[in-house]
């Protein structure tokens, strides 16, 4: 909690204002009713509204002290959506308990994250398509190949299928998702057992792994 109890109320507000003005983020002061009491210029730019317009209006977002959340701010007049990282601390303002809300513009960062995800998805899609073409060509060649060589073609298909599955896992991990390595290895073991060893080989492959 930010307090300066040794100072009179007007001095505490002036001191807090001085601190706020030095901060690069958009800052708003929200009272216990959820109304904005103060907004600095950086906050004006985020909301595309003047401090005079903002003061007295509802902040409109849940504020939880000690937590960091991301919010979408819809600007007036078709100005678009701005993404902001929100942090909250408690303080005093004109002898009242209020919340000091810090708003950091993360619009550029969110755009870079979306661009990176789109690029990853596009690359993954193209890799899968190319691998499917290769598998199709191998299947076509296997039809016209002597029986003793068919097993080799099936082995090639199994290996390419494993590469396709691995690419899928890498794509998921790049998006921050849980990678089911256990399921991947089990599927590879199953494919190897069926395609390479055969059902009569008497050899089984067991996999013990956890998702990452």
The answer to whether 75 and 99 have CB atoms below 8 angstroms apart is no
Percentages helix, strand, coil for the chain (3-state, rounded to 5) are 50, 20, 30
pLDDT, tens digit, for every residue of 95-133? 888 999 999 999 999 999 889 888 888 888 888 888 888
Better pLDDT: 24 or 193: 24
Round the average pLDDT of the chain to a whole number and report it: 79
Q: How would DSSP label each residue in 176-206?
A: TPPP-HHHHHHHHHHHHIIIII-TTS-----
Q: Is the pLDDT of residue 195 over 90?
A: no
Q: Where would I find the beta strands (DSSP E) of 75-187?
A: 81-93, 96-105
Residue 24, token pair as written in the block = 């690069």
Mean pLDDT of 77-81: 74
Q: Is the pLDDT of residue 42 over 70?
A: yes
Q: What is the pLDDT of residue 30?
A: 93
Q: Is the pLDDT of residue 72 over 80?
A: yes
Mean pLDDT of 20-30: 85
Q: Residue 72 half-sphere exposure, CB side, CA atoms within 13 Å?
A: 6
pLDDT, tens digit, for every residue of 125-172? 888 888 888 888 888 888 888 877 887 888 788 778 777 777 777 676
Q: What is the pLDDT of residue 151?
A: 78
10 Å Cβ neighbour count for 93? 19
Please state the pTM of the whole predicted model.
0.60
Give the helix ranges, DSSP H, for 38-78: 41-47, 51-54
């Amino acid at each position: 909690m930010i307090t300066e109890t040794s100072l009179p109320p007007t001095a505490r507000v002036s001191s807090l204002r001085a601190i706020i003005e030095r901060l690069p983020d958009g800052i708003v002061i929200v009272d216990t009713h959820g109304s904005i009491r103060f907004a600095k210029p950086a906050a004006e730019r985020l909301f595309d509204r003047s401090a005079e317009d903002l003061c007295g209006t509802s902040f409109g977002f849940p504020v939880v002290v000690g937590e960091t959340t991301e919010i979408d701010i819809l600007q007036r007049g078709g100005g678009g959506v701005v993404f902001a990282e929100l942090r909250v601390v408690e303080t005093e303002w004109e002898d009242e308990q209020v919340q000091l809300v810090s708003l950091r513009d993360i619009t550029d960062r969110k755009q870079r994250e979306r661009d990176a995800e789109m690029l990853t998805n596009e690359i993954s899609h193209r890799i899968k398509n190319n691998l499917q073409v290769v598998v199709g060509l191998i299947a076509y060649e296997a039809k016209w190949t002597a029986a003793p060589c068919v097993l080799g073609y099936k082995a090639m298909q199994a290996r390419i299928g494993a590469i396709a599955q691995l690419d899928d896992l890498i794509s998921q991990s790049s998006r921050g998702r849980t990678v089911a390595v256990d399921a991947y290895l089990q599927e590879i073991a199953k494919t190897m057992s069926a395609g390479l060893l055969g059902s009569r080989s008497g050899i089984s492959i067991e996999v013990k792994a956890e998702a990452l």
